[in-house]
């Protein structure tokens, strides 16, 4: 809540710095608040919301103190600004801290590069102006010093690769779906309404400012809007950029408090009324966003996080360190740090490949856990998104070097055999897995996936006869099922 509130306050300040009155500054952040409401999960990306807003504020404030290239003017002209201490030195600490908080800092690097390039273009095209060397040095320093993070500049390359996959729809998690696909999957129709209203408000502002059109703003608005269509996550940055852009465009509707006489010219009353009507529509859209189903959920659902298993680890003084699902990392840090170090969380860049090597029980899974000094594994008994038992659970259940010490219907805890206190019977894990798979079959008797899950459990437990019977049942339900046919060939 503090991070979101701070980000919105920064967006409001940005609109005021660009000349909007209090009223129009508040109205300009309505679109951002509308879209923010779909990103209100307690996740590390929330840090990137605040840092992106801060980066925009610093870059826009620095830009207004210099020159801007306008479309429709015969020549690029310097725009007077209220003079004061330059804002751009703040880029350096922002990028250093951001690079150590969340991989979204590459968005900040992109913004700094874009604004620096625009500054150079303006000064090159306008022969009467000179580049601000201190601004360019601050931009370069902020980019270089962002490498002061545990993963160095390799973090930039890994994150860019992930963003590329997200932008082109090759990542399959729901938040990397396009907006329309996300709405179809989640039923959040208010999200589509919000994006439509934000797009309309932004484009209306550009029409009102068509005689002094800001090319950089237009480029960011269109490019981020297009990315939002193919990746839900990009909508976060589209909202932040839209708030700054709409705030600037609305600044022409009033006498700007922060700018001199050379600031934006007023807009006739008819247009003022049109913009006011558009803002009322934005308010309606915001109301729609507030009724979305996600907002009605509790802050922490016990069905999502392993609260009972975490309590067991605390109470039993299970040995450190932890290996666990990617999705539980932030919760486990909040619940168990500093006594236990998490293996991975939502800031993951470098350990993601090792994480999946272990989760899928690849050839190096045991070596990786040894190298990371992991003595406790906390994992799902059944993958929530695939209806299957994870391979690492099969590997641990069959490895004499590990013993199960705790179970419930949503989590299993294994510790190294030499450190296990009151371990469970060896058969307990298999009985739990069979029970969960059979429950799935009882609830979904015509779904072959649950039969395949049960067959995999039998096969890994060393019960080939029962496994063959279950896989044949899966094939009878879906004769073209390749997994069931593959298992039957193996058996």
Residues 6+ apart with CB under 8 A from 278: 200, 201, 204
* Interval 451-475: pLDDT, tens: 999 999 999 999 999 999 999 999 9
pLDDT at 101: 87
**How far apart are the C-alpha atoms of 233 and 256, rounded to whole Å?**
34
pLDDT at 281: 58
pLDDT at 72: 39
Helical pair 105-125 and 215-230, crossing angle rounded to 10 deg: 150
* Interval 210-230: pLDDT, tens: 778 899 999 999 999 888 888
Residues 6+ apart with CB under 8 A from 25: 12, 15, 16, 247, 250
Which residue ranges make up each domain of the chain? 2-296, 307-443
Distances (CA, A) of 315 to 311, 337, 409: 6, 14, 19
Give me the residues of the chain with pLDDT under 70, please.
Answer: 40-43, 66-84, 162-177, 252-303, 347-350
Do the Cβ atoms of 476 and 482 come closer than 8 Å?
Answer: no
pLDDT at 478: 94
The gap between the terminal CA atoms of the chain, to the nearest Å, is 54
Give the three-class secondary structure for 214. strand
E-assigned strands of 268-325? 322-323
Q: By C-alpha distance, which of 381, 388, 391 is closest to 474?
A: 388
**How far apart are the C-alpha atoms of 314 and 296, rounded to whole Å?**
31
Q: Which two tokens stand for residue 152?
A: 């160095």
Sole residue written with tokens 């005021």:
16
pLDDT at 327: 84
pLDDT at 266: 47
Q: Which two tokens stand for residue 346?
A: 């939502």
pLDDT at 384: 83
Residues paired with 478 in a beta bridge = none
E-assigned strands of 105-234? 213-214
**How far apart are the C-alpha atoms of 27 and 417, rounded to whole Å?**
61
**How far apart are the C-alpha atoms of 217 and 241, rounded to whole Å?**
8
Do the Cβ atoms of 241 and 12 come closer than 8 Å?
Answer: no
Given CA atoms 331, 336, 338, 344 in this order, what sign does their dihedral have? negative
**DSSP-derived secondary structure for 62-131:** HHHTSEE-EETSSS-EE------S-SGGGHHHHHHHHHTT-TTHHHHHHHHHHHHHHHHHHHHH-TT---
pLDDT at 348: 66
**How far apart are the C-alpha atoms of 484 and 473, rounded to whole Å?**
9
Give the three-class secondary structure for 346. coil
């Amino acid at each position: 809540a503090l991070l979101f509130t701070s980000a919105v306050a920064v967006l409001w300040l940005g609109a005021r710095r660009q000349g909007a009155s209090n009223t129009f500054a508040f109205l300009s952040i309505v679109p951002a608040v509308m879209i923010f409401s779909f990103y209100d999960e307690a996740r590390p990306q929330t840090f990137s919301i605040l840092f992106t807003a801060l980066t925009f504020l610093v870059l826009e404030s620095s830009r207004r103190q210099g020159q801007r290239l306008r479309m429709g003017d015969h020549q690029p002209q310097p725009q007077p600004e209220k003079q004061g201490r330059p804002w751009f030195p703040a880029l350096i600490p922002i990028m250093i801290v951001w690079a150590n908080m969340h991989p979204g800092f590459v968005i900040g690097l992109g913004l700094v590069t874009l604004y620096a390039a625009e500054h150079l273009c303006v000064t090159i095209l306008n022969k009467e102006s000179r580049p601000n060397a201190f601004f360019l040095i601050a931009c370069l320093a902020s980019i270089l010093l962002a490498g002061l993070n545990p993963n160095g500049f390799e973090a930039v390359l890994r994150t860019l690769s992930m963003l590329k996959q997200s932008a082109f729809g090759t990542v399959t998690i729901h938040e990397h779906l396009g907006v329309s696909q996300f709405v179809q999957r989640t039923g959040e129709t208010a999200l589509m309404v919000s994006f439509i209203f934000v797009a309309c408000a932004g484009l209306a502002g550009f029409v009102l400012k068509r005689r002094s059109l800001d090319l950089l703003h237009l480029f960011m608005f269109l490019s981020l809007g297009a990315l939002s269509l193919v990746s839900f996550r990009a909508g976060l940055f589209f909202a932040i950029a839209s708030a700054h852009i709409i705030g600037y465009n609305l600044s022409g509707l009033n006498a700007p408090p922060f700018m001199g006489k050379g600031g934006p010219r007023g807009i006739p009353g008819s247009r003022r009324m049109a913009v006011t009507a558009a803002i009322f529509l934005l308010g309606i859209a915001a109301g729609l966003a507030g009724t979305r189903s996600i907002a009605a959920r509790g802050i922490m659902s016990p069905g999502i996080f392993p609260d009972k298993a975490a309590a067991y680890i605390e109470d039993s003084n299970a040995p450190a360190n932890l290996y666990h699902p990617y999705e539980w990392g932030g919760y486990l840090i909040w619940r168990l740090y500093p006594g236990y170090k998490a293996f991975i969380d939502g800031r993951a860049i470098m350990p993601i490949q090792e994480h999946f090597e272990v989760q899928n029980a690849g050839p190096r899974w045991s070596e990786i856990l040894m190298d990371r000094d992991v003595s406790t594994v906390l994992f799902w008994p059944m993958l929530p998104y695939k209806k299957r038992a994870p391979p690492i659970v099969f590997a641990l259940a069959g490895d004499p070097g590990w013993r199960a010490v705790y179970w419930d219907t949503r989590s299993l805890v294994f510790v190294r055999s030499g450190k296990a206190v009151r371990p469970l019977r060896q058969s307990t894990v298999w009985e739990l897995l069979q029970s969960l798979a059979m429950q799935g079959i009882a609830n979904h008797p015509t779904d072959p996936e649950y039969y395949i899950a049960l067959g995999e459990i039998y096969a890994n437990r060393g019960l080939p006869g029962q496994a063959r019977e279950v896989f044949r049942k899966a094939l009878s339900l879906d004769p073209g099922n390749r997994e069931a046919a593959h298992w039957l060939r193996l058996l």
